[in-house]
Structure 1
Amino acid sequence: MKSYSTRAMALIASAGLLAVAACSAGSGTSSGSSPGADQSLSIGLVAEPASLDFTTTDGAAIPQALLGNVYNGLVKQDDSGKIGPDLAKSWTVSPDRKTYTFELVDNAKFTNGAAFTAADAVFSINRVKTAWTTSLKAAMDVVAEAKAVSPTQLQVTLTKPSNGWLFRMTTRVGAMFSQTGVDKLATEPVGTGPYKLGTWKRGDSIVLQRNDAYWGSKPFFNQVTLKYFKDPTALNNALLTGTINVVGTVQAPEALSQFTNNDKYQVIEGTTNGEVVLSFNNSRPVFKDVAVRQAIRQAIDHKALLDTCFAGRGKLIGSMVPPTDPWYEDLTSVAPFDLAKAKAALASAGVAGTALRLRLPTLPYATSCGQVVKSQLEQAGLKVTIDQLEFPAAWLTSVFKNADYDMSIIGHVEPRDLGAVFNAKYYTRYDDPTLQALLASADAGDEAAQTEDMKKAARRLSEQAAADWLFLLPNLMVADKNVTGLPANAITESFDLSRLARS
């Protein structure tokens, strides 16, 4: 619930975060740089993980810190968003598109000393089904069998062709775990990545130490501190005073001028997967009427909202698909701002004057945008009460887990999360058989069919007003001038620390 939330939320939910991915022009270690024995880096973020175990705890803050850093997967997304090798050197797919055969690296070890083998991959895949408790586990339902053909060869058979399965293996669902290292995941993660957990000071910071036994290229920094701030001004001041070296997720875009006019710093602006969603609890009677949902969407002046609460940074999209996905279409014209029409529709539906509770996480973007949403909806004739919940714990429990809310605002950052967010079991409680049929068809079809069906699914979602999409979060980062390898775009759940260096 991915600034920013997951699919259980890629919610920038754990959010506040933009889960940053390595997708940048200019990413990578600077020429001639090499791992520094005593080089350290400090990155300022907003949403601290509630736990370090993303198999049982939702929120994007955990994979932001650990995925790709402490944990590897079999595959990962490259700089163009395509799927490439990680612990799997290569793979083949059977003609019927149901059997995947992976050739694994032979020199990877977990930080507990155990060698990584195909048996660990089988264990990790099966464990998603048997031990994971988050909604993300459904991604592995399509797996019929995973077996170790040899220590370095893995074979996975699906029950049916699935475009989504291999892609999901680039997310947290595809993380590889040690068979002897899952007893204390909430506090002692064990992975094969370039970093390992040093210390976690709750409420303050997570320190990651370079894994000197890492099987791949060694990262430049021997220590990276992820420092968490609840206040955007304090976050900015920490960079200005040298307490941190990078603002990982700018929370107050209106304050960027203090950095853009200072040659000590660099400002990076790109795009993300982070849709800031005005969520509706579709199980509530008032939201069962599509006319009411559509009216609420038309009551919101999205451009004015973006200008007011996020300094005009970001992009208006109109549905749950970012421009970096192949099936993106600009759907902002589906529900254009029309206050008079919205007022009339709400009155006609008999809900004018209805009191709605807008339960917001204590995240800067949600707080500021929530005030604008309240004002605009009240102009349309609704009564809106804002209720702030501490994030992540209180919000995840009350809104995400128990659906005790009418509306909320959260950034969803997990990639390609349309179907995960909008279904009857998720916190949106959105039950639409037509949408589910389109998603099933998209998953089973060829590339062209997938794109066409996903476009139809996104339009269906927008026309049915399952929620309102306030805007797409930008990837805004500020850093010391000499930090290299920062991503221009945030298209995965992970903030890839291994690519960072100092010139």
Structure 2
Amino acid sequence: MKSLAAALVGSAALLAVAACSAGSGTSSGTSPGADQSLAIGLVAEPASLDFTTTDGAAIPQALLGNIYNGLVKQDETGKIVPDLAKSWTVSPDRKTYTFTLVDNAKFTNGQQFTADDAVFSIDRVKTAWTTSLKSAMDVVQTAKAVSPTELQVTLSKPSNDWLFRMTTRIGAMFSKTGVDKLATDPVGTGPYKFSEWKRGDSIVLQRNADYWGSKPYFGQVTLKYFKDPTALNNALLTGTINVIGTVQAPEALSQFTGNDKYQVIEGTTNGEVLLSFNNSRPVFKDIRVRQAIRSAINHQALMDTCWAGRGKLIGSMVPPTDPWYEDLTGIAPYDQAKAKSLLQAAGATGATLRLRLPTLPYATSCGQVVKSQLEQAGLKVQIDQLEFPAAWLTSVLKGGDYDMSIISHVEPRDLRQVFNAKYYTKYDDPTLKQYLDAADAGDEATQIAEMKKAARRISEQAAADWLFLLPNLIVADKNIQGLPKNAITESFDLSRLTR
């Protein structure tokens, strides 16, 4: 939580809304509205504003691209494009990247952005970050400032993944003099600056008057957080907010689709709703148990029941927006008889599994369906709910105190991050690592072929179960433009929005 704790998590949380993808418009050429304000309703409130030490997709959702810029970013199609780096070149051996930086960017603490800040930010991921995502920077051998506007980064080996990761939170640029209070007072070069955080209620961002790029239309944006889906819907109906950033009651969409005051946007996300297994538990070391659980779940019926049929069945950890996507739902079709047979062969019939759910609407709703279907196959399932993000991140993501959980992992291209022995899934598979390493080091065709192998591997080995891919569902006032159709990055790009 795609996903969310980075959710890391995942992710997890993330669930959230996320991102700047194919939008219905942009703010380009639109004069900023001096007195214009906007309120967006979301669900997963950050546990902190410091994504260098705290997992969870809710933080970059609010801050990345809004308060923080990176050297590069993704455009609406997922292509890597310039941000604080105007351009870059790559050496023939694919190990040295030379970036030419903008010369007019300032941090909100007044300091000029230079290549020294970029070196500081890259090195700091390796030395000061504590989240699991920091490992994506391990491939960097050196980063040095050639001049105030020229940065050179040398990798220890060729990596297809590194530049892409620089579009995510690990690529955020920090001020050397602005990292003392990241949890409560973030300092960046983005189109917005931090104004206020009312914990349990809202985060307020103000337009950055000194922003080096095109000024955003809205002078103030309030991110308002709701734990109850009905309250979220009512907030839009009563004018308290202008946008539901992530619909949490898809069955209630009809109250908006028939009303010409509102627009409903439906697209896709990176948010794989994962029924995760703690693969360090003895019961999950038996592949027959894992495969039985996958076979016991009627995924279409589950999605119809708990998410009003909205979403997509995918069968592995790759969304259709990635170039190595394949529909792998056929690997584990619904088959209760097979599930019962596998459990009996593994001696696991009647085993009790603890399903620990974050207090997120999709997780709590789908958790009941998972419990019912698994118990029909012969397992016993005990459900308990953990407050999200704090309790879930502490107990499940960091503590590994769970048998199964449900979380949306929304971080882009996160297969390697999610399925490894150091992450909360505790999944250790040398063959998978071999495929991922080959994908990272090879040419484009090799990358696609090896990533397909990796996706198939975790599906055939039943490293987890992929319930469905969350849709991007947004409801907003009719006159709001620039909202993302697809959520394919970690950021909800506020600079695109106009009225």
- The two structures share one fold, judged by TM-score above 0.5: yes
Deviations 1:424-479 (A, max 9, x none): 00000000000001000000000000000000000001000000000000000000
Deviations 1:253-278 (A, max 9, x none): 00000000000000000000000000
CA distance in 1, matches of 2:431, 2:393: 28
Is the contact made by 1:298 and 1:342 (CA closer than 8 Å) also made in structure 2?
A: yes
CA distance in 1, matches of 2:72, 2:9: 19
Choose from 412, 437, 442 the match for 2:439. 442
CA distance in 1, matches of 2:325, 2:368: 29
Corresponding residue for 2:26?
A: 28
CA distance in 1, matches of 2:6, 2:475: 27
Is the contact made by 1:269 and 1:488 (CA closer than 8 Å) also made in structure 2?
A: yes
CA shift for structure 1 position 9: 1.0
Deviations 1:387-438 (A, max 9, x none): 1000000000000001000000000000000010000000000000000010
Is the contact made by 2:31 and 2:217 (CA closer than 8 Å) also made in structure 1?
A: yes
Deviations 1:359-385 (A, max 9, x none): 000000000000000000000000000
SS in 2 for 1:371: helix
CA shift for structure 1 position 8: 4.2
CA distance in 1, matches of 2:171, 2:79: 16
Residue 309 (structure 2) pairs with residue 347 (structure 1) = no
Matches within 5 A, 1:150-165: 150-165=147-162
SS in 1 for 2:60: helix
Matches within 5 A, 1:9-408: 9-24=8-23, 26-29=24-27, 33-408=30-405
Is the contact made by 2:191 and 2:211 (CA closer than 8 Å) also made in structure 1?
A: yes
5+ residue gaps in structure 1?
A: none
CA distance in 1, matches of 2:189, 2:82: 14
In structure 2, what residue type is equivalent to 1:17? A
CA shift for structure 1 position 6: 4.3
CA distance in 1, matches of 2:333, 2:147: 57
CA distance in 2, matches of 1:163, 1:87: 21
Corresponding residue for 1:499?
A: 496
Question: What's the TM-score, normalizing by structure 1?
Answer: 0.98
SS in 1 for 2:66: coil
CA shift for structure 1 position 29: 2.6
Deviations 1:323-359 (A, max 9, x none): 0000000000000000011011101110000000000
Is the contact made by 2:6 and 2:14 (CA closer than 8 Å) also made in structure 1?
A: no
Q: Size of the alignment, in residue pairs?
A: 499
In structure 1, what residue type is equivalent to 2:13? S
Deviations 1:77-131 (A, max 9, x none): 0111000000000000000000000000000000000000000000000000000
Is the contact made by 1:8 and 1:134 (CA closer than 8 Å) also made in structure 2?
A: no
Corresponding residue for 1:426?
A: 423
Deviations 1:275-322 (A, max 9, x none): 000000000000001111011000000000000000000000000000
CA shift for structure 1 position 18: 2.2
Is the contact made by 1:8 and 1:135 (CA closer than 8 Å) also made in structure 2?
A: no
In structure 1, what residue type is equivalent to 2:53? T
SS in 1 for 2:264: strand
Is the contact made by 1:7 and 1:417 (CA closer than 8 Å) also made in structure 2?
A: no
* Seq. identity, %: 81
Question: What's the TM-score, normalizing by structure 2?
Answer: 0.99
CA distance in 1, matches of 2:121, 2:22: 27
Is the contact made by 1:63 and 1:494 (CA closer than 8 Å) also made in structure 2?
A: yes
In structure 2, what residue type is equivalent to 1:452? A
CA distance in 1, matches of 2:249, 2:495: 27
Distance change >3 Å, CA 492–CA 117, structure 1 → 2: same
CA distance in 1, matches of 2:106, 2:198: 27
CA distance in 1, matches of 2:227, 2:15: 9
Residue 496 (structure 2) pairs with residue 476 (structure 1) = no
In structure 2, what residue type is equivalent to 1:86? D
In structure 2, what residue type is equivalent to 1:5? L
SS in 2 for 1:324: coil
SS in 1 for 2:30: coil
Is the contact made by 1:8 and 1:136 (CA closer than 8 Å) also made in structure 2?
A: no
Deviations 1:17-69 (A, max 9, x none): 12222323x33138x63101100000000000000000000000000000000
CA distance in 1, matches of 2:492, 2:11: 13
CA distance in 2, matches of 1:144, 1:178: 22
CA distance in 2, matches of 1:13, 1:373: 18
RMSD: 0.9
5+ residue gaps in structure 2?
A: none
In structure 2, what residue type is equivalent to 1:134? T
SS in 2 for 1:483: coil
SS in 1 for 2:239: coil
CA distance in 1, matches of 2:27, 2:85: 23
